[in-house]
Structure 1
Amino acid sequence: MKGLGAGMAIIGCGSATPSQVMTNKDLSQLVDTSDEWIRTRTGISKRHLASEDVSLSDLSAQAAAAAIKMAGLTPADIDLIILATSTADDLFGSAAKVQELLEASQAVAFDLTAACSGFVFALVTAAQFIRTGTYQRVVVIGADMLSRWVDWSDRSSCILFGDGAGAVVCQGIADHDHLLGFEMHSDGKQHDSLNLSYQGKAKTLKEGMVISQGSYQPITMNGREVYRFAVAKVPEVIEKALFRADLTTDDIDWLILHQANQRIIEAVASRLKIPAEKVIANLDEYGNTSAASIPIALDEAVREGKIQPGDIIASSGFGAGLTWGAAIFRWGN
């Protein structure tokens, strides 16, 4: 179904997390840490980790299927799948595999990589396809399996990350637009603050011709710099997105930030003067699931009946790149 529409609505959501759970106590058996130390500094108590037989594509397809069902659609109705991930099963991308698993035979599919900002960037990208009338029904998935790339002997980073996937269904609507405002930014000058980088060794193919061959290395992070960046930039980008939406913080029903650290979430809410009862957080249960964190939190709040149709949500992702962005949207048709 094609046609020029005025805007989009987010009409379904879903999520999927692995059954394996790593508690803080479990982690204290691996590295020199404790439950109290982790909770007081991060707000995290546990994280869900994918077993060796679970793929990122599997989790993504489960989350997308739940979102499509909530939307009252079938996979055959979907025109486009955007998979926001930094940990694809295949370096060439996993979105097409998700399309196959869903049996969404009419959908084009591609990956988008923007680390922990990925879901917000993918949601904004989906809106552009819908607003131009190119596609009518789009599934946006945020999914990551950072357990694959964590150094489990590094106590500064292994305590943070979990695996999961979350998804939403966006649909074109003729008379209004529920993506009310957005803002996105990147700053490559701070690229070295958070990395999952390639390291290679020289390989000589013939005299005078040397290439690099290697693999990706575990996550490295300057936690202090990332914290300072997030607390400074996230309130600013939300305020800019609200300005574009012609709204103020008083108009927000719910704040859903990337679930990186409870102290970051509280600091951002405080700077925006958003009361704690309007802040949705679940990193106590899941840790930092990167691009999956916002849609997982959204899905849980919707299914619990906390978020109601018509509610206005301010969301913001931030992370490696460094990248950060915000999207203000109204939930439901």
Structure 2
Amino acid sequence: MRARIAGVAAYLPERTVTSAEVEARVEAESDGYRPLPTIVERMTGIRSRHVMRDDQQASDLAVEAARTLLAEQGRPPASIDLLIFGSASQDMVEPATAHIVAAKLGLGCPVFDVKNACNSFLNGVQMADALIRTGQHERVLVCTGESPSRAVRWKVRDRDQFADAFAGYTLSDGGAAMLLEAAPDGGIFYRDFAAVSSAWQVGTLPGGGSMHPRDPDRTYFSGDGRRLKEAFLAAGPEIFVTALEKTGLTWDDFAVVCVHQVTMPYLAVLRSILDIPADRLVTTLPDHGNLASATLPLQLSAALRAGRARPGDRVALIGLAGGVSLGITLAEL
């Protein structure tokens, strides 16, 4: 059996915050530090990002997307036999956020979390694919709820601390859900993953773990964007090039190529290295920001709703994440 993508949906909070508003808030909450005007948009290409309501949690974002998806597919909660919550965000350290999502959806099936930074959702799909192919489950709901707005440092001392916190100013809140079902053909036909774990310290959110369990100053994103880009480039394009070689396909054989998007300049570099045709990309970053693991399902959902991808088409999902992780999944809808 194959794991077929039956449907995908995304949820974006109504409230948006522009890059100019981000800079204004940093200036207002800092003691004398003022970011260079327009620096966030100039460096990233991001015009706005989504921010969830104060009464929402990561689980709520996943639930919103999942409810939309189940309604569109005409599937009652009882038809789901496994739920995977694949997200960099979580409601709390314990229990698994998947339990909270399942309770809100009224599911009674087994659940678990998958966590691997911005590749969390893609790894969740990887797990669903494996469990369906081995006959352990027939219908799996993979969902994510990303709430990075809760970990942005607004009060900064100086330029160095602003640079260290800069990744947080690109991030956006959102949820997504994908339904995978057992099918005799079509579906996911290739997947591969790689890691350069020696670069794990380049981007972190340290608070809450055993290293820094109760240090408020460690609850903000910290990272070096230049070093993270260098780590990705050092990993090389082999995993993606090999996928095409092993399947005998080119990017032109795909209706859309969904790529995790961090900044527009880096997306341009990656597209150039991999030689992906511009008309195959689904560009979401400028108006929606970096949605972490929700980025890829948002792009696929947008492509389906715009008619850019239809049943029978091939789609590619390319994942990049801190850690550092890389992944690619190829599927026929």
Taking structure 1 as the reference length, the TM-score comes to 0.88
**Equivalent residues of 1:80, 1:139 under 8 A apart:** yes
Per-residue CA deviation, residues 197-222 of structure 1 (Å, 9 max, x unaligned), is 13789xxxxxxxxx985245211111
Question: 96, 103, 107: which one pairs with 2:106?
Answer: 103
1:301 equivalent in structure 2: 303
**Equivalent residues of 1:226, 1:319 under 8 A apart:** no
Q: How does 1:261-272 map to 2 (within 5 A)?
A: 261-272=263-274
**Equivalent residues of 2:47, 2:286 under 8 A apart:** yes
The 1-side partners of 2:319 and 2:209 are apart by 30
2:158 equivalent in structure 1: none
Q: Residue 61 and residue 267 in structure 1: after superposition, are their counterparts in 2 closer, same or farther (change >3 A)?
A: same
User: AA paired with 1:143?
Assistant: G
Per-residue CA deviation, residues 241-260 of structure 1 (Å, 9 max, x unaligned), is 33343423332221111121
Question: 161, 167, 170: which one pairs with 1:157?
Answer: 167
Q: Residue 262 and residue 231 in structure 1: after superposition, are their counterparts in 2 closer, same or farther (change >3 A)?
A: farther
1:83 equivalent in structure 2: 85
**Greater CA drift, 244-253 or 37-46:** 244-253
The 2-side partners of 1:228 and 1:16 are apart by 32
What's the secondary structure of 1:126's corresponding residue?
helix
User: Does structure 1 residue 25 correspond to structure 2 residue 20?
Assistant: yes
> Aligned residue pairs: how many?
315
**Greater CA drift, 24-33 or 121-130:** 24-33
The 2-side partners of 1:99 and 1:19 are apart by 24
1:135 equivalent in structure 2: 137
1:145 equivalent in structure 2: 147
2:7 equivalent in structure 1: 12
**Greater CA drift, 250-259 or 278-287:** 250-259
Q: Residue 41 and residue 213 in structure 1: after superposition, are their counterparts in 2 closer, same or farther (change >3 A)?
A: closer
1:205 equivalent in structure 2: none
**Equivalent residues of 2:51, 2:149 under 8 A apart:** yes
2:249 equivalent in structure 1: 247
Q: Residue 299 and residue 199 in structure 1: after superposition, are their counterparts in 2 closer, same or farther (change >3 A)?
A: closer
User: AA paired with 2:183?
Assistant: I
**Equivalent residues of 2:151, 2:168 under 8 A apart:** no
Question: 186, 194, 209: which one pairs with 1:185?
Answer: 194
Structure (1/2) with the larger helix percentage:
2
Please, which runs of 5 or more residues in structure 2 have no aligned partner?
27-33, 156-161
2:285 equivalent in structure 1: 283
User: AA paired with 1:197?
Assistant: P
Q: Residue 33 and residue 273 in structure 1: after superposition, are their counterparts in 2 closer, same or farther (change >3 A)?
A: same
**Equivalent residues of 2:199, 2:231 under 8 A apart:** no
Q: Residue 61 and residue 311 in structure 1: after superposition, are their counterparts in 2 closer, same or farther (change >3 A)?
A: same
1:321 equivalent in structure 2: 323
Q: Residue 132 and residue 88 in structure 1: after superposition, are their counterparts in 2 closer, same or farther (change >3 A)?
A: same
The 2-side partners of 1:308 and 1:91 are apart by 39
The 1-side partners of 2:236 and 2:287 are apart by 23
Percent identity between matched residues is: 26
What's the secondary structure of 1:128's corresponding residue?
helix
What's the secondary structure of 1:158's corresponding residue?
helix
**Equivalent residues of 1:151, 1:157 under 8 A apart:** no
What's the secondary structure of 1:297's corresponding residue?
helix
The 2-side partners of 1:94 and 1:60 are apart by 10
**Equivalent residues of 1:19, 1:48 under 8 A apart:** yes
What's the secondary structure of 1:198's corresponding residue?
coil
The 2-side partners of 1:199 and 1:292 are apart by 22
1:198 equivalent in structure 2: 207
User: AA paired with 2:47?
Assistant: S
**Equivalent residues of 2:251, 2:277 under 8 A apart:** no
Taking structure 2 as the reference length, the TM-score comes to 0.88
Q: Residue 131 and residue 102 in structure 1: after superposition, are their counterparts in 2 closer, same or farther (change >3 A)?
A: same
2:29 equivalent in structure 1: none
State the 1:34 CA deviation. 6.1
**Equivalent residues of 1:18, 1:163 under 8 A apart:** yes
**Equivalent residues of 1:230, 1:264 under 8 A apart:** no
Q: Residue 238 and residue 148 in structure 1: after superposition, are their counterparts in 2 closer, same or farther (change >3 A)?
A: same
The 2-side partners of 1:41 and 1:280 are apart by 20
The 1-side partners of 2:265 and 2:123 are apart by 24
State the 1:231 CA deviation. 4.2
Per-residue CA deviation, residues 137-165 of structure 1 (Å, 9 max, x unaligned), is 01111321111112123362332111111
The 2-side partners of 1:232 and 1:181 are apart by 24
Cα RMSD between the aligned structures?
2.1
User: AA paired with 1:286?
Assistant: H
